[in-house]
Structure 1
């Protein structure tokens, strides 16, 4: 197995083994960027570009924004992995990452993360615009310096305020097309902001023992499941209400509000059901928090797809 940042393995190994080793290293570096997180972030960037353009935006602009956004998100994730490698090694959910498995050295991962950050800023600056580049750089810095290094291990509100970094793609998608901020992307920013606690707390409820073992005070670690479910429900109602604000603020067609009402109703039903399942029990098998987690992914994905489709279907 090849270890990045250490001496190279014996060159006399069989070709097949060398290829497998290279594959492991490439996979390790890709893993540092947390591709699933990037997918979700891009899903809140590209649809906003369609909405800002009131149709199909210029392909080259979309490609540059996607590349720059991907590199920026990958940079933040890689730097997060470097800082959190001590707790990642102890948690079931994260112990298979590259740093806990020593597939990549901490120094190499740090250099990799910083390089991605620099390249992403340059791509957005020269091929999109300065405002989008600064927003991406600000989101990266906030995620690493504020959430990862300050909030995550100190407060139960870590993900509430730390989640601000994940809201920036909505602003970046808008500014990439228009070159300026407006109330429309702010509403979508707030939708993601209120979506983040239900999404993350459902996952944290599933892995609360992991977080407890490494002294990360996620809300499910310090509060009963029923309290967590109530908080999730409260944020869910605010999230759905905020999503409906886009209709009057942005002057959407009929498609978006119809989709927002249906998707919001389905999500709220699931949030109410999870609260009901917490009555008198702390059993995760009965509460089934991952149902809400998967619903949250589907909700956000379809909501932003409806943002992209609205100007195409109702113009």
Structure 2
């Protein structure tokens, strides 16, 4: 029996949906959501849970579009390396689901819109966003990437904070330190888990080169440092039992996972530590701050 051809509407709908999904996937939705969550929760903490609704929506949208656009631009810059790695060759740019020109225009438009919103909020918010964007785009896949990434990942926190409180306070400093310590731990555990994949792709920077023995112990030290920062946040930020219990618990779990990885550095233990760093740790810590304020009244 002859096969039936798809209906014209269905034949047009499938590629259109795939194309639309490619525009979303190039923005790294999971990473974008985590960065946006950090910014949204920071805005709530900075205002004592009482932000102006209109200003909160503007700041929240700026953080969302800026994080998405920056993630997309790094995807554009990294597409050559991504194409050589098994873990990332299925991403939309290496797979050819979206052209580089379209991706550049799309992501640049998002970041430009976000910076315009940040300027409308406060010049400090604009400056923070511009600095974070610049740090995310330069010196990709070099020794400086991890340090610049610590600055760029602070962008959502800085933009959201300065949108409501254009001042530097101890709480602002601790939030920044939390993110700055988190970035190398998050990145190094991923690189240790997929070391051979990175090396085959031509990426040979710390901790892939001579740092594979010391890096797991550095990761453990960073995890301990994060736990200390969580304690300082609870004290200086005046957070209560909910924050202390939840953030302390995930901090201890992260320390335990990194301790096991340091004692027995295997890809399986590295990927377990990596997965704990994202939503289980950073997501919980940022969510717990406004929730603690709300419950504590």
Aligned to 1:242: 229
Could you list the runs of 4 or more consecutive aligned residues of structure 1 that deviate by over 4 angstroms after TM superposition?
none
User: Within the alignment, does 1:284 sit opposite 2:271 as a pair?
Assistant: no
Please give the per-residue CA displacement for 1:82-113, whole angstroms capped at 9, x wherever unaligned: 22221111111221122212222222211112
Post-superposition Cα deviations, 1:234-255, rounded to whole Å, max 9, x if no partner, equal 1111122122222343333444
The match for 2:197 is: 210
8 Å contact from structure 2 (residues 171, 233) kept in 1: yes
Inter-partner Cα distance in structure 1 for 2:49 and 2:106: 36
Asked whether the 8 Å contact 1:71–1:116 carries over to 2, the reply is: yes
Contact 2:242/2:288 (CA < 8 Å) preserved in 1? Answer: yes
Give the match for residue 121 of structure 1. 115
Which runs of 5 or more residues in structure 2 are unaligned? 1-6
In the other structure, the counterpart of 1:134 is: 127
Tell me, yes or no, if structure 1 residue 309 matches structure 2 residue 291.
Answer: yes
Cα separation, 2, equivalents of 1:37 and 1:77? 8
Aligned length in residues: 290
Structure 1, unmatched stretches of 5+, are 1-12
The within-5 A match list for 1:173-192 is 173-192=160-179
Aligned with residue 65 of structure 1, among 59, 75, 88: 59
Aligned to 2:239: 252
C-alpha separation in 1, matches of 2:231 and 2:30: 27
After superposition, the C-alpha distances for 1:252-309 in whole angstroms (9 at most, x for unaligned) are: 344433443333222212211222223xxxx534xx2121112112011111111112
Q: Partners of 2:86 and 2:50 in 1: how far apart? A: 43
TM-score, normalised to structure 1, is 0.85
1:1-315 to 2 correspondences below 5 Å: 14-126=8-120, 128-145=121-138, 150=139, 152-155=140-143, 157-223=144-210, 225-278=212-265, 283-285=266-268, 288-297=269-278, 298-315=280-297
Q: What is aligned with 2:3?
A: none
Q: Deviations over 1:50-88 (max 9, x none)?
A: 211212433333322221111111221222122222111
Q: How high is the TM-score relative to the length of structure 2?
A: 0.89
Q: Cα distance 1:153–1:296, how it changes in 2: closer, same or farther (>3 A)? A: closer
Q: Distance in 2 between matches of 1:185 and 1:213?
A: 40
Are the equivalent residues in 2 in contact too, given 1:72–1:137 (CA < 8 A)? no
